[in-house]
Amino acid sequence: MDQASIFYAGRVTSKVGAFVQTTFDGVGKQNLILDNTDIRYADQTNLAGQQFVYGVSANNSPTVSDLWNTTPVWSLPAASSSLAPTPAAGTLIESLGGQVGGMTAYTMWKNLLYVEAGGYTSLARNVQQTVSTFGPGQNRIDGGAPYWRVALQHNHNGHYGAIGSFGMRANVNPQRTLVVSQFEIPKT
């Protein structure tokens, strides 16, 4: 078996919910990985007579909290094989899943404007090893990395349109572990 995932998604309390994905890797280390995880608090109120939804999210993968499933965490192919070649290049935000921890605050006003902002940092090596997400060649965020998501959406008589932006600014130290080669010079 290449891989298999188990998902939990639902209410934990009246205003707290969770989405947790665990994945079995049958090719590499043949272990269970704590995959995409999002635990969030959400509430709503009226502000100036308009619906106002707000909350906070704690998660381990930038863009996992995307309401529209349009960001890198949810891009296709949703599952790829460890046996198949993969692209050699990609953006930093695509490569951080499971390696970081972060919190964001979000709001949706009038079912029109969505704004989310927060920050991420690399999880400690021992934490990543515990949840089986550590790789010696991965990048490490130096300090914190701010993250944002803004979307303007509109639904008009069954026609839907949206425009937005998301991103992250991070200073990274490439490849967490350094391999030092040692060699001897023969004496003559």
* C-alpha distance from residue 135 to each of 18, 78, 95, 125, 140 (Å): 26, 21, 11, 9, 11
Residue pair 107/52 in contact by the 8 Å Cβ criterion: yes
Query: What are 87-103's pLDDT values in tens digits?
Result: 556 777 887 777 888 99
Residue in this structure with the two tokens 């949703």, named with its chain if needed: 78
Give the pLDDT confidence of 161-188 residue by residue, as tens digits: 999 999 999 888 776 554 444 555 556 5
Task: Report which of 38, 35, 59, 18 is spatially closest to residue 133, judged by C-alpha positions.
Answer: 35
Q: Considering the entire predicted model, what is its pTM?
A: 0.76
Q: Which residues contact 142 (CB under 8 A, 6 or more apart)?
A: 170, 171, 172, 173
Cα distance between residue 98 and residue 59, in whole Å: 9
